[in-house]
Amino acid sequence: MKYLNLKYTCCLTICFLSLYVTAQVHKVGPHGNPSALQTADTTRRVRGLADTVGFAHRKEQMDLVIQRIDQNQGPRLDAIRKKYDISSGDAWRLAIAPHDDYSYSGYMYPLVLKNVQAKTVIIFGVAHKAAKFGVSNQLVFDHYTHWNGPYGPIKVSSMREDIMKELPVGTYQINDSLQAAEHSVEAELPFLQYFNKDVEIISILVPPMPFSRMNELAEPLARALARVFKKRDMEWGVEVSLLISTDAVHYGDEDWSGRDFAFFGPDSTGFHQAVDTEHVFIQNTLAGDLLPAKIQKFARYTVQENDYTAYKWTWCGRYSVPMGMLTAYNLQQVQKATPLNGMFLDYCTSIDHTPIQVDDTGMGVTGKASIRHWVGYCDVVFR
């Protein structure tokens, strides 16, 4: 989740930023089922930008961000890759990455995304503004043909339509307005495109839903993916990968729309307790063998037992993470593939290292970072 001031002010105008090269609008039935598609129009429709501040959307910006990450955090990245024996040939079947301002979380992106080598990346994003659009309990796709990228428009894979055709009625909807207002998928694209100029994507937003509903959706989605992969002769991890977008804990007692997330206190002692809690939480739920019981433990830790819409531990990906992981687990089961095992590569926060300088590039930050308002980030990958 981004910070709650400039980020969401920007989001209010997003729907007007999408570049419609055509006035043709696809018509979709109330359940989002593919039989309700009323047009085969293939004219380019490019999704606009949700965040023009925190992310790089021009080639010169992205090149400079990468250069500064290499200069400032290169040794740290090299040490982590050496620790986990990660080579340039390793390719993730599933990965978890942050979506915050590049200034704060920049080096965490290439640590994960450099080894997302598949041409097609299916991204499970957060639906931060789902309540505003009245969306819940369904997966959310879009109708765009392309998304903006710093090196040119990024194509949406034609697999999207094949996947939707395989899904039962009522499991999803197509909502361009919600997709246009969301920044969690957009954040990943400049890095994905930097490492693979031909990358194609499919965006799936996961709005609020109980864990039981995630189970109901994950199995048919995994079976749909397996059928489409087989039909297209695509190997998971090689031609197609799954990516989950989430930031970790949102902490502090200032500028969280009046809410107090300083669970252990808004001071250095509270900060260290929160970070220690994060490490234990991640090790117990995301690292190691990917199993349904651990995924459910993640859900129970992040949402209130009697109200799945309410935070318990403030990860904005409290729905995208378990949904993406359940889908990956079910896909592995359907394909009878090698079991997935998570490697917890790194963790940092918006206040524990020197930010990347971006203010000379036309970029900036969308919120403050202080002991009373900070965000955590984690990188987890699955071979």
Predicted confidence (pLDDT) per residue in 153-190, tens digit: 999 999 999 999 999 999 999 999 999 999 999 999 99
Q: Which of 99, 92, 151, 98 is nearest to 121 (CA)?
A: 92
Six-digit token string for 171: 């499991």
How many angstroms separate the CA atoms of 177 and 186, rounded?
Answer: 14
Q: How far is CA 114 from the centre of its chain?
A: 15
Q: Which of 365, 280, 371, 291 is nearest to 328 (CA)?
A: 291
**Whether pLDDT at 232 is above 60:** yes
Six-digit token string for 192: 């994905």
Among all chains, which residue has been given the structure tokens 């969280």? 256
How many angstroms separate the CA atoms of 260 and 272, rounded?
Answer: 17
How many angstroms separate the CA atoms of 92 and 301, rounded?
Answer: 26
Q: Which of 54, 53, 188 is nearest to 111 (CA)?
A: 188
> What is the pLDDT at residue 43?
87
Q: What's the pTM?
A: 0.90
The one-letter amino acid at 328: A
What confidence tens digit (pLDDT) does each residue in 41-80 have? 458 999 999 999 999 999 999 999 999 999 999 999 999 9
Q: Which of 175, 125, 181, 174 is nearest to 13 (CA)?
A: 181
Q: What is the mean pLDDT of residues 320-349?
A: 98
Q: What is the mean pLDDT of the chain?
A: 91
Q: Residue 364 phi/psi, 5° resolution?
A: -170, -155
Six-digit token string for 325: 């992981």
